[in-house]
C-alpha cells in the first residue's frame, strides 16, 4: 500500500489527472493507464504504463 499523502500528489504524466491504487498499480482516473509500483516505488513513466483494456476485449 502507498502512503495516502503520496497518492494525493501523484498524477498521470500523460493527462495530468489523479491516480488510484488498485491491485498493486496506480490507475489514472481519466485515461485508465496503469502504472507499476516496484518495491514500493511508483514508476510514473508513460512508456512503462499498461494501456486500459477496451470494453468487451477478451484476455
The predicted pLDDT at position 3 comes to 86
**Residue 54: inside a domain, yes or no?**
no
Q: Does 55 have pLDDT greater than 60?
A: no
**Residue 29: inside a domain, yes or no?**
yes
**Residue 58: inside a domain, yes or no?**
no
pLDDT digits (tens, 9 = 90+) for 16-52: 999 999 999 999 999 999 999 999 899 999 999 999 8
* Torsion (CA) 14, 20, 23, 27 in degrees, nearest 10: -20
**Residue 24: inside a domain, yes or no?**
yes
The predicted pLDDT at position 2 comes to 81
Q: Which domain holds residue 40?
A: 4-48
Q: Are 21 and 41 in contact (CB under 8 A)?
A: no
**Residue 31: inside a domain, yes or no?**
yes
Amino acid at each position: 500500500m502507498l502512503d495516502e499523502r503520496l497518492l494525493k500528489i501523484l498524477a498521470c504524466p500523460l493527462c495530468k489527472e489523479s491516480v488510484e491504487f488498485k491491485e498493486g498499480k496506480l490507475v489514472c482516473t481519466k485515461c485508465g493507464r496503469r502504472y507499476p509500483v516496484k518495491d514500493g516505488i511508483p514508476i510514473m513513466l508513460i512508456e512503462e504504463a499498461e494501456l486500459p483494456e477496451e470494453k468487451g476485449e477478451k484476455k
